[in-house]
Structure 1
Amino acid sequence: MNYRNTLLALAVSSGLSAAPAAYAVDLGTFNDTSFSIGGYFKAEGIFEDVENGDSRFFGRANQSRFNLKTVTKKQGHTVVGFVEGDFYGGDYPGEDNDWRLRHAFIKIDNATVGQTWTGQFWAVAHTDYLDFLGGPRGTLAGLNFRTTLASYEFQGLRFTAQDPVYTDADIPDLAVNYNLNLDGGHKLILTASGREVDNGDFVAGGAIGTRVMMGRHSLNLNAHHGDGLGAFTGVGVNGSLSGDVENGEAVSQTGFNVGFRYVFNDQWRANVAYTAVEVDDQADTDYEGHRINLIHNIIPELEVGVEWRKYNLAFGPLIPEGQQVEVMAKYSF
């Protein structure tokens, strides 16, 4: 997998939801194929108080995105096509506003091919967050990059083979998820991950994610352990996509994330989350992240929010060590 630089890798994190599109506008049907468009406009202002540097305030709208979806039902098969882009491309994501491909995949019944979420991304029970770049850091959705892959879903199981993070790997990166949806909205996700790392070893790790519903509220818990997982959590040696090797040896890590979502009513909700990762390395890359936010839906399609977060490690200039306060407005269509 080739990335121009670490900054571009940062710009592949997710937004408030793992779903490709929350809303869509139907365009009609032609020759047994239905067409729809979706996406959202998002504007945000961020005050940044970093540990080593000057505080600043800045605004951006790069997260805004558009997608086109097609669905064809013919001869007993359902074929879905999906393409989506945002404005986090360019050499300096977050400052440049170049168009960037996020998703481009075909789903034929239960099989998916193309560019979309990694199998590791689906390991996580997500809590709402406003921080598009650093929100899920420390979980297996920490970098949340999309990659070229092939996956197949069967009775709650998802098997994924994907473009390897280590560019000289001889085999694809692999992931197996088991998703159990229980009555009342409860959820359990079990994940096994395997990949070849920079020293040529094939290493493995695992994760568990769960969502416990408490009436309208929910408690989300995630934990992971193993080697080769730093490429997905964003935490590890050198803070890089392939930084899972130190002194020629694979680096292991153990992490957990807990988030609570409190729903006041149909218009107001709040989230609080804490993440900690312990890395078995000499570079001292143990990580802690804190987050609390408040989100208000003016109408179902339009929401505004404010979030405070604090990270103890920097990961490039877009995710600094220190504190940030973000205010945002997001209009989905």
Structure 2
Amino acid sequence: MNYRNSLLAMAVASTVSVAPSAYAIELGEFNDTTFSIGGYFKAEAIYEKVDDGDSRIFGRSNQSRVNLKTVTEKQGHTIVGFVESDFYGGTYPGENNDLRLRHAFIKIDQTTVGQTWTGQFWAVAYHDYLDFLGGPRGTLGGFNFRTNLISHEVAGFRLTAQDPVNNDADTPDLAVNYNLNFDGGHRVILTASGRELVNGDFVGGGAIGSKFMLGPHSINLNAHYGRGLGAFTGVGVNNSLSSPDTENGEAVSQAGFDIGFRYVINPEWRANVAYTAVEVDDIANTDYEAQRVNLIHTVAQGLEVGVEWRKYNLAFGPLLPKGQQVEVMAKYAF
């Protein structure tokens, strides 16, 4: 895996982006295979007030994406093929509109092989973000990068072995997720993560993600602790280099939590507020805090408009500066 490009290409920040679009269009069936396409168009305008730089306003539509899905029932097996691309294919997100491969995988019954979300990505109960590039930063889905892997689901567990972040590692990166679903829509996700660092240490950590329903409203809580997790949270020492989670040759630990509240005003309007904090045990002082508030209006099925304010205490790349952003967006999912 080209980890540097993965860091710079951070992907999705909203729950709707975790799975194929709910509004996929069925194309028909051929040779016992059902074909469908999905995705969405998104346009956004962003006002940026940088703490140590000039303010600016800009627009982009790179997040727009399209996918193709096939489903085949054959000899007692369900075979799913999925491929998806967006337009964040430049070295830095937003520098051009090159096509980028997001997902390309095969799922045979409960086993997935190919390029898709890391096992750590599934550790998080995601909020209703508008912030595509930085929304889940500070959780185990913080980089939202995809890699080549094999994953198997059984009895509530998801077991994943994936292309390691450390290109010189002798072992794959590992993740084990366990999902607990309760009556009323409540959910808890328990995750163990392990990987080999550039110093040769095999380190690990754990996370818990949870969603609690309050009538139509919900509270999401996420927390993590351990070493080797900065490669996934997007927070920590050396995360812009090829040796994340190490400082002076030693493994670095971190602990973080993330909380969000989703308030459903009525079927057409909803509002969200979220706060994230991560404490890193390093000399470089990469502790992280973020706040965000948004309001989203469903104009018609699949068509949404919204506005979001967010603030970061650290910079990460040209499109995630230290300071504040206000985004106004329109999105049509099909």
Task: Place the TM-score, normalised by the shorter chain, in its bin.
Answer: over 0.9
Q: Is the 8 A contact 2:280 2:286 kept in 1?
A: yes
Partners of 2:200 and 2:51 lie apart in 1 by 37
The correspondence of residues 255-266 of structure 1 with structure 2, limited to 5 A, is: 255-266=256-267
Aligned equivalent of 1:249 = 250
Give the deviation of 1:4 after TM superposition. Answer: 5.2
Unaligned segments of structure 1, at least 5 residues: none
Q: Is the 8 A contact 1:13 1:142 kept in 2?
A: no
Partners of 1:313 and 1:66 lie apart in 2 by 32
Aligned equivalent of 1:315 = 316
Deviation string, structure 1 residues 199-233 (Cα, Å, up to 9, x no partner):
01000000001000000000000000000000000
**2:48 maps to 1:48:** yes
Give the deviation of 1:243 after TM superposition. Answer: 1.4
Deviation string, structure 1 residues 68-106 (Cα, Å, up to 9, x no partner):
000001111000000000000022321210000000000
Give the deviation of 1:38 after TM superposition. Answer: 0.3
The correspondence of residues 273-288 of structure 1 with structure 2, limited to 5 A, is: 273-288=274-289
Deviation string, structure 1 residues 22-46 (Cα, Å, up to 9, x no partner):
3200000011100000000000000
Partner of 1:232, secondary structure, is helix
Runs of 4+ residues over 6 Å off in structure 1? none
Aligned equivalent of 2:71 = 71
Partners of 1:309 and 1:131 lie apart in 2 by 8
Give the deviation of 1:266 after TM superposition. Answer: 1.1
Partners of 1:257 and 1:20 lie apart in 2 by 25
Deviation string, structure 1 residues 230-276 (Cα, Å, up to 9, x no partner):
00000001333641000111000000000000011111101000000
Aligned equivalent of 1:100 = 100
Partner of 1:200, secondary structure, is coil
CA separation of 1:10/1:271 partners in 2, compared to 1, >3 Å: closer, same or farther?
A: farther
Give the deviation of 1:19 after TM superposition. Answer: 1.6
The correspondence of residues 293-304 of structure 1 with structure 2, limited to 5 A, is: 293-304=294-305
Aligned equivalent of 1:9 = 7
Shifted more, 30-39 versus 237-246: the winner is 237-246
Partners of 1:16 and 1:133 lie apart in 2 by 10
Partners of 2:239 and 2:195 lie apart in 1 by 18
TM-score (norm 2): 0.97
Partner of 1:22, secondary structure, is coil
**2:164 maps to 1:159:** no
**2:255 maps to 1:238:** no
How many residue pairs are counted as aligned between the two chains? 331
Unaligned segments of structure 2, at least 5 residues: none
Partners of 1:245 and 1:54 lie apart in 2 by 33
Partner of 2:142, secondary structure, is coil
Overall identity of the aligned pairs, in %: 76
